[in-house]
Amino acid sequence: MNEVEAMTNRIAFFWVGDDISTPEYLVKSIRFTCGEGIELIQLTDLTTPEVLGVSSVVRSSLSEHIMVARLQAYSQLRLTDDFTYFCDADSIFINPLQIESSYNVLLSPRVETHKINPHYPEHYPEFEGKTTMEVMPFLFGAMAVRGENNIFNGLLRKCLKLPLRFHRWYGDQVALAKAVGAGNFIYGHLDPSIYLKIITTAPSIIELKQLISENVQMVTFKGPSVNKISNLAHTFEALKALHASDMLNRMK
């Protein structure tokens, strides 16, 4: 299919819990880079505090199991003819979000793989001798969907059919792999180097400027030893400092 421009005017994220410091930085970065015009939706349970700066909050009675809860929350959002971009909350936008595609579903393919530990965080016999690419070829941290086909209803049904351990860990990505393998919907790709740039530490000003020049739109922090709050805070402050410096240079 030929690529055609489709502007994105909605971003949605999932978060549950009393501590909302992680999504606060996400929301601040979206408002800073994308402005007030973009619709920003918080998907959550019945008690999590509202994050300052969101356009709306969609609350649902959710499962205690996080993988099921996220799919339940995603499935409750009514989609539109414009893309809704679903992203992980431990992320920072460094450029305005722009998506170009003629597809109605866009997924982030996994580009790096390794042998998966079948005993972490509990025993997954399905993962014995497998790589992450084999069992979870798509990442769940950045997806874009539009139109009437809310794929998350089907993913939720698939996840609920999995053993209970997948309701606690990995279930969303495994359900997505099964849906793609079954040909449940047609999809295109989001380039993860642009829309889901995974980093482990906050970039320096020079590194951040390079990422921005490469049109990276969102960075996300992953890794077992990552101090996410510190990295989110440092990256957002560096982003503001870089923009202030650029403005001063333009005024000279």
- Distances in Å between the Cα of 23 and the Cα atoms of 12, 75, 88 are 11, 20, 9
Q: What is the pLDDT of residue 149?
A: 77
**What would the mean pLDDT of 22-51 be, rounded to a whole number?**
97
Distance CA 58, CA 44 (A): 6
- Check: CB of residue 110 under 8 Å from CB of residue 136: yes
Give the whole-angstrom CA distance, residue 3 versus residue 56: 31
5-6 and 99-100 strand pairing = antiparallel
Arithmetic mean of pLDDT, 111-120: 94
**Other beta carbons within 10 Å of 53:** 16
Please give the Cα distance from 103 to 109 (Å, whole number): 15
Q: Six-digit token pair at 235?
A: 């990256």
Instruction: State how far the alpha carbon of 88 is from the alpha carbons of 8, 196, 215, 218, in Å.
Output: 17, 9, 19, 10
Residue 4 pLDDT more than 50?
A: no
3 state SS of 90: coil
- The answer to whether 217 and 209 have CB atoms below 8 angstroms apart is no
Q: Is the pLDDT of residue 230 over 90?
A: yes
Between 44 and 150, where is the model more confident?
A: 44
Residue type, 191: D
Task: List the domains of the chain with CATH numbers.
Answer: 5-191 (3.90.550.10)
Residue 5 has pLDDT above 80, yes or no: no
The CA-based angle 195-196-199, given to 5 degrees, is 135
